[in-house]
Amino acid sequence: DAKTTQPNSMESNEEEPVHLPCNHSTISGTDYIHWYRQLPSQGPEYVIHGLTSNVNNRMASLAIAEDRKSSTLILHRATLRDAAVYYCIPLANQAGTALIFGKGTTLSVSS
């Protein structure tokens, strides 16, 4: 499994953009980069995933470095509900592959 490195914690203010970095320098060439988040006392929630190109959805944007050794999850306007632990996870694009969670980044959002 590819090893990932994320900051233990980050802080943001409401309505401001948040950039959550992740290093995955040993990622396989065919692994997708998935981001999940876990709100307190809940199961994780899918956020976004990508392979090489930057990706956007209603929740966030994902910027992937050209060499794929790092990526950044971008929350364009943080809200209090975005306070969670964010996990960056390389995942092989094949059925039956489990997500292996690292420690993630705990995001705090202040009003």
Partner 1 sequence: GAVVSQHPSRVICKSGTSVKIECRSLDFQATTMFWYRQFPKQSLMLMATSNEGSKATYEQGVEKDKFLINHASLTLSTLTVTSAHPEDSSFYICSASLQGLSYEQYFGPGTRLTVT
- Using CB under 8 A as the binding rule, whether residue 40 contacts partner 1 is answered as no
Backbone angles phi, psi at 51, to 5 degrees: -115, -60
Indicate which single residue of 34, 61, 65, 69 sits in contact with partner 1 (rule: CB under 8 A): 34
Size of the site for partner 1 (CB under 8 A): 25
Q: Given the complex with partner 1, which of 77 and 103 has the nearer CB atom?
A: 103
Binding mask 81-110 for partner 1 (x = CB under 8 A): ----x-x---x-xxxxxxxxxxxx------
Q: What is the dihedral of CA 50, 65, 19, 42, to 10 degrees?
A: 30
Q: What is the three-class DSSP state of 56? A: strand
Q: What is the dihedral of CA 42, 108, 89, 73, to 10 degrees?
A: 130
Restricting to residues 45-64, which ones interact with partner 1 according to CB under 8 A? 45-46, 49
Angstrom distance (rounded) from CA 72 to CA 21? 4
- Using CB under 8 A as the binding rule, whether residue 32 contacts partner 1 is answered as yes
What's at 3, amino acid-wise?
A: K
| Interacting residues toward partner 1 by CB under 8 A | 32, 34, 38, 41-46, 49, 85, 87, 91, 93-104
